[in-house]
Amino acid sequence: MATVKPFKALRPYKGIEQCFSCPPYDVLEEDEVKEIISRNPNSFLRVTRSEIEAEEDSKEAIYKKAKENLESFIKNGVLIKDSEPSFYIYRETWQGVSQTGFFAVVSVDEYDKGIIKKHELTRRDKEDDRTNHILNLNAQTGPVFLTYKAQEDLKAIIDQLIKNKEILYSFCDENNVKHELIKIQEEDEREQIEKAFNSIEYLYIVDGHHRAAAASRVQKIMKEKDTNYSLDKPYNYFMAAIFPHNELRILPYNRIVKDLNGLKEEEFLKKISSYFQVEEAPFSPYSPDSSHSFGMYLQKKWYKLTFKGEESEDPVENLDVQILQKYLLDPILSIKDPRTDPRIYFLGGIRGVKEIEKWVDKKDWKVGFSMYPTQIDQLLKVAEMNKIMPPKSTWFEPKLRSGLLIHELS
């Protein structure tokens, strides 16, 4: 059984939410952040990307500046604190399609016990950064993106709760994604959501594995120092945005490679034909329309690759990203660890397959691969079996907006 709880959010006052909120901290380049902050001093990027304004290029200075900026936003009334614990219904609409979930806090203990399922490895240095960011600010500034197996009765409850409710925030961002937030603060309405989750067995991390791992580490640190510990302390929970699985949209995560590992084009094509049927693509640029099928762009020409192997009982081995890695990138191009090898680069699906052509034709990369998107059911199956997906397996759109809600730990 998964536990979800309402919380008293720190949030921008109504009217400033559009310019205050921002994309996730890890999707913008440094020059983009500088440009946004220069024209908008009330951007939440001053908290999530405070290295731009830090006096020194050290972690301590960066965390200090983030804390100063957060405290300044509170002092100047840009951020206000809700007086009642609330759930916050959150709807994102992009390209005419909506996904409706809600912000809540979820249990660190349930994360530790595996009720909140993972599918990705974390890096210690990134965990350290998120942990120190939370400890220095005494707040979780970004949500963990979670999903659950959709249930009609839960959807009906949420649909009913938001009828005739005043919309707290409603705006379109720079990518034409519409964001809407509705506060649910009445006690009987909050209880409906909490009780509905009694039938939800697991929650699954979609994105934010480092934030979740950091929340777990923060809890242990703060609990050890707390002489008046109770389970109700905010640090026992972390903020999450939770959506039903059948409303999520996954785009392909395409790959480009710097060279052919010393092979000539003819040699390369011959080697991959051992594992894949190789044929000229039916159109260009080519995006595969089914699993175990890949597009490949080489020497200004698109190919269609079809995997010759059989289905596996192991859900990881059936993933297209794993097939490409195991049968082509590793044995033929000698890319052993795609997490660290500088010869491979990943292009999020929102940038489209034409971006592959641009990199290969104009940026001195040799070959590109267009992928069929990982399916949400595949992610759930991998997580339920406590297995790990290869890096860069999923690209979710639309992205969650940062700065709409903040979870303070005291």
The one-letter amino acid at 367: V
Strands 116-117 and 203-207 turn out to be: parallel
Q: What is the largest CA-CA distance in the chain?
A: 70
- Of 113, 1, 118, residue with least CA distance to 386: 118
- Please answer whether residues 213 and 127 qualify as being in contact, where contact means their C-beta atoms are separated by less than 8 angstroms: yes
Average pLDDT, the chain: 96
- Please answer whether residues 203 and 209 qualify as being in contact, where contact means their C-beta atoms are separated by less than 8 angstroms: no
pTM beyond 0.85: the answer is yes
**What percentage of the chain reaches a pLDDT higher than 70?**
100
**What percentage of the chain reaches a pLDDT higher than 90?**
94
- pLDDT of amino acid 351: 86
In the chain, ranges of CATH 3.30.1760 domains: 253-372
Q: Is the dihedral of CA 386, 382, 106, 207 positive or negative?
A: positive
CA–CA dist 286, 353 (Å, integer): 7
- Please answer whether residues 408 and 47 qualify as being in contact, where contact means their C-beta atoms are separated by less than 8 angstroms: no
| pLDDT tens digits, 20-71 | 999 998 888 899 999 999 999 999 999 999 999 998 989 999 999 999 999 9
Give the mean pLDDT of 171-199: 95
- pLDDT of amino acid 94: 96
Alpha helices (runs of H) in 7-151, residue ranges in sequence order: 17-20, 30-39, 45-48, 59-75, 108-113, 124-137
CA–CA dist 45, 21 (Å, integer): 8
Which pLDDT band holds residue 164 (cuts at 50, 70, 90)?
A: confident
Which pLDDT band holds residue 1 (cuts at 50, 70, 90)?
A: confident
CA–CA dist 348, 61 (Å, integer): 32
- pLDDT of amino acid 122: 92
CA–CA dist 158, 231 (Å, integer): 27
- pLDDT of amino acid 317: 97
The distance from CA 222 to its chain's CA centroid, rounded to whole angstroms, is 26
Beta bridge partners of 90: 101, 181
Give the mean pLDDT of 186-195: 96
Which pLDDT band holds residue 350 (cuts at 50, 70, 90)?
A: confident
DSSP state, residue 373: P
CA–CA dist 247, 110 (Å, integer): 24
Q: How many helices (H) and strands (E) does the chain have?
A: 13, 21
CA–CA dist 394, 257 (Å, integer): 18
Alpha-carbon torsion, ordered 130, 103, 204, 172, to 10 deg: -90
CA–CA dist 329, 8 (Å, integer): 48
- What is the CATH code of the structural domain delimited by 253-372? 3.30.1760
**Lowest-pLDDT range of 163-167, 170-174, 240-244:** 163-167
Give the mean pLDDT of 106-120: 97
Q: Is the dihedral of CA 153, 181, 34, 408 positive or negative?
A: negative
- Please answer whether residues 181 and 88 qualify as being in contact, where contact means their C-beta atoms are separated by less than 8 angstroms: yes
CA–CA dist 133, 155 (Å, integer): 35
Residue 220, helix vs strand vs coil: helix
CB atoms within 10 A of CB 209: 20
Contacts (Cβ under 8 Å, ≥6 apart) of 308: 275, 276, 277
Q: How many residues are recorded in the chain?
A: 410
